Amino acid sequence: MRLAIKRNLSPLLVCLIIFNASVAFAQKSVRANRQSATVEQKINFLLARMTLAEKLGQLQQLDGESDGRFRPEHLELARKGLLGSTLNVRGVKQTNELQRVAVEQSRLKIPILFGFDVIHGYRTLFPIPLGETASWDLQAAEKSAHIAAQEARSAGVHWTFAPMVDIARDPRWGRIMESAGEDAFLGAAMAKARVQGFQGGDYSQIDRVMACAKHFAAYGAAEGGRDYNTVDMSERTLREVYLPPFEAAKNAGAGSFMTSFNTLNGVPATANSFLLRQILRSEWKFDGLVVSDYTSVAELIKHGVARDGSEAAQISLNAGTDMEMVSRFYNQSGAELVKSGKVSIKTINDAVRNVLRVKFRLGLFERPYADENLEKNTIKKPEFLQTAREIAAKSFVLLKNEKETLPINKNVRKIAVIGALADDKANTLDWWAGDAKAEDSVTILQGIREKVAALPTKIRFEKGCELNCDSEKDFGKAVDAAKDSDFTIIVAGETRDISGEAASRTNLDLPGKQLDLIKVIHQTGKPYAVVLKNGRPLTINWLAENSPAILETWHSGTMGGAAIADVLFGDVNPSGKLPVTFPRNVGQIPLFYNALPTGRPLETENRYTSKYIDSPNTPLYPFGFGLSYTQFKIDNLRLDKTQIKRNENVKISVDVENVGKRDGVEVVQLYVRDLVASVSRPVKELKGFRRISLRAGEKRTVEMTLTPKDLSFLNQKLQPTNEDGDFQVFVGNSSEGGLEGTFKVGQTAVAEKKN
C-alpha cells in the first residue's frame, strides 16, 4: 500500500522530497564524517522508495556496442529504472543521451553508472600494464592512470575495470600482459599507484574515475596457464602471494572489485563467500561495489554449481556479488528468490546499497552528465601524448647489448628496418586498447623515420614476411636490405591478438618463421638489434645466445614507435627491469624468483637433487633484470643494526655509482631471506626498491628500511607473525646476485653496528 502510493508520486515531487530530505539530513548531521553519514541516509531514503524490480535493476549491468553506442533496449530499461549500469557505452553524446532518460524520465531518477575497460589508457594508450610495471616507476603508473581517467571521465565514463592486479607467474596465460607480473610486493605497489591515479583522493572529481581491482581472486593461477581454467591453491599462497595487491588496492580506496571467472579450490569466485564476505567485507572492511565478471554469474551453471539461472543468481547474491555483468539472472529470478526466502531482502538491499553508495561517491546525483567541450579539450592533449612517450621509453628492457651495439650511432647513414610489426598501425592498438584509434599512433618505422628526418640517413623498410610470418618468400628482400645497410633493426614478436584475454599459448617461441628471418639477417654478419614487441615473456634462447642486442619493448601504446626510436638512438637510456621471469623453455613454467627452497637444492653433480635432466633450473633472464647504456656499481652495503627486536626496523644502505659514460637510471632492489622459520620461507623476497637517476660519474647513497611488516609471514595457523632468527639481505640490480648482508631478530637489541 505504502509502495503503491509512493510509486504514484510525480517525478518532480519525488525529486523535491529527496532534495528536502537531504538538506534536512545535512542540517541535522553533527557528526565529523557528515558527508558519509549523509550518503547513507540518502541511500536509505531511496531504498525505502524502491520497488523490488527497481532494486534488481540497479544490480544489472548490460553491454553496449563495441563502438561505444548504447543499445535500443537500454533506453526502455533506463526509463523504467531497470538499468543500473552499462559497460562499453562511452563518449559524451552516447552517455548523456542514455543518462538523460534515466535521470529525467525514470521514477526515482537514479543515474546510470558507465563502466569501461580503461586498462592502459582511454584514447592515449600507454604501455600495457606489464610493460609499464617494467619501469618500476610508481609515479609514472599513477600519472598514466590519471591521464586515462581524465580522458575517460571527459567522455562520460565513470568507472574503469582496472587495475588488474592478478599475480601472474605463468607466461602461457595471455592476460599476463595486463598484470604487474609475478611479484606480490611490486604488484601491491603498482596496484596502489594505479588506484590513486584513477581515483585521486575523491573520484567524484571530473578528472577521475572509480577504479576496480580485478579479478578477485587468483585468476592468474589458472592451471596450465589456460585462460578461465581451474585454480587450486593453498590458503597460504593465496594470502601471501595473490591477495596483497588486492588488499593494497582496497587500502588505496578502490571503489569496486570484480570477481574472477575461475573456481578457487572448487568454488567459483563469483559464488565464493570466503573471498567476498569473509576476506573482502569482513576482514578488509570493504564498503564499495562488487561486480561479477562478464557472464560469470551465468557460468556458474557450466561450473556445475548451479542447476539453472535462478540458482546461479541465488548463490552469487548470497555469496556477495552485488552487480551482475551481462547475464540477467538477478533480474529474471530475483523476485522469486526473495519470495521463496532463498535470498533475503536484506541481501538485495545490501547489494543495492553498495551500488548506490558508489554512485553517490562519484557525484552522479549532482552531476549526471558529461560535458562535450571538456571531452573535446581533454582527449589526446599533446602533453598526454608526450607523457605516453616518456613512460613507454621507461618501460623498455635492454636484455642484451654486446659490444655496445646500441644505441645506434646517429652517423650511421643507411639503416634497414625489418619486420611486419615495425609498421603495422593496427598492431599498435594492443589488447584492451580502450577507445584508441590506430591512426593516432606512431609505428616503430615512423618513429625511426622521424628521429632521423633531419639527418642524411636513409631508411629502407622490408617486412621480410607478413604479420604471422608463415612464408620465407620475401626473406631475400630483407637480406638485401640488411646487406645494403650499416645497421639493421629487426622488429619481431606477437601480434595484438596473441596477447590478452583468451590468448593462452603452449609455445612461447616467436610465432611463425620470425626466428628464421632473424637468422638469415644474422648470417649477413652486419650489426643488428632485435626489438621485441610482445605481451609476455618469450623463449628467446637463440637470440640471447647469438644476437648482439635485444630490446624488449612490450606493446607500448600510442607513442610506442617514437619512444622506441628515442631509446634505439640513445636519446633515452633504457632503464626497465623485468617484472617477470623469462624462462628458457615452457617446461620450466611456473618459474619465478621467490620460490621456496627444496630439501634437495640443486647440485649439478648429484642426480638426486631438484633439477631437470634436460634443462637448467635457472631462467633465461631473471626477475628484476635489465641493462643500461651505462654501467652502475653498487657497493658498500651497510645495515644500521645487525640485531633488532621484532618490532624494530633495519636501515639498509648502499652506494650506487654511475661508472659509465652516459647519464642513466638504475633500479636498486632489496631482497630478504628468512633463513630459519616455523614454515619454509622463499629463497628471496623483494621488500624494497628505488629508482634513481645518476649522471655519468655520479655517486649516491641509497637507503631502504625493512620494517617488522616486511619480515612478517603467516605461521602454521595462517596468523601473521614475526619470529626471531637470522635474516639475509641482498641488494643489487636484479633478483640474482647482489651484495649480501645478515642481521638477527632477537629478544634484545644490541648496540648499533656497521659491517
**Catalytic residue positions?**
293
Nearest residue (CB) to ligand BGC, 121 versus 682: 121
Q: What is the CA radius of gyration of the chain?
A: 27
Nearest residue (CB) to ligand BGC, 297 versus 672: 297
Cis amide prior to 72 (ω within 30 degrees):
no
Q: With contacts defined by CB under 6 A, how many residues of the chain interact with ligand BGC?
A: 7
Least separation in angstroms between CB 54 and ligand BGC:
25
Binding to ligand BGC (CB under 6 A) within 119-138 occurs at none
Name residue, grid cell 553524446: 93
Q: Which secondary-structure segment (H or E) carries 545? A: helix 541-546
Binding to ligand BGC (CB under 6 A) within 155-174 occurs at 161
Least separation in angstroms between CB 537 and ligand BGC:
21
DSSP string of 81-126, one letter each residue: T---EEES--SHHHHHHHHHIIIIISSS-PPPEEEE--SS-SSS--
Nearest residue (CB) to ligand BGC, 431 versus 593: 431
Burial of residue 285, with CB atoms counted within 10 A of its CB: 0-12 exposed, 13-18 middle, 19 or more buried:
exposed
Nearest residue (CB) to ligand BGC, 64 versus 81: 64
Least separation in angstroms between CB 290 and ligand BGC:
13
Q: Rounded to whole angstroms, how far apart are CA atoms 364 and 210? A: 12
What is the phi/psi pair of residue 143, to 5°? -65, -45
Cis amide prior to 426 (ω within 30 degrees):
no
Near ligand BGC by CB under 6 A: residue from 169, 214, 505, 687: 214
Nearest residue (CB) to ligand BGC, 207 versus 501: 501
Binding to ligand BGC (CB under 6 A) within 420-479 occurs at none
Least separation in angstroms between CB 160 and ligand BGC:
9
Question: Listing from the earlier edge strand, what are the strands of the sheet with 414-418?
Answer: 397-401, 549-552, 528-533, 487-493, 414-418, 458-462
Closest residue to ligand BGC, Cβ-based? 161
Near ligand BGC by CB under 6 A: residue from 151, 166, 182, 293: 293
| Residue whose C-alpha is closest to residue 556's, from 419, 451, 430 | 430
Binding to ligand BGC (CB under 6 A) within 499-518 occurs at 501
Least separation in angstroms between CB 162 and ligand BGC:
8
Q: Rounded to whole angstroms, how far apart are CA atoms 105 and 610? A: 68
Are the C-beta atoms of residues 754 and 638 closer than 8 Å to each other?
yes
Is 497 near ligand BGC (CB under 6 A)? no
Least separation in angstroms between CB 501 and ligand BGC:
6
What is the phi/psi pair of residue 432, to 5°? 65, 60
Is 294 near ligand BGC (CB under 6 A)? yes
CA 255 vs CA 24, 178, 317, 547, 722: distances in Å: 27, 20, 19, 47, 32
DSSP annotation of 253 reads T
Nearest residue (CB) to ligand BGC, 275 versus 565: 275
Nearest residue (CB) to ligand BGC, 294 versus 625: 294
Nearest residue (CB) to ligand BGC, 214 versus 394: 214
Measured distance between the N- and C-terminal CA atoms of the chain, rounded to whole angstroms: 80
Contacts of 63 (CB under 8 A, 6+ apart): 71, 86, 87, 88, 294, 325, 326
Is 87 near ligand BGC (CB under 6 A)? yes
Q: Rounded to whole angstroms, how far apart are CA atoms 424 and 129? A: 21
State the residues that interact with ligand BGC by CB under 6 A.
87, 117, 161, 214, 293-294, 501
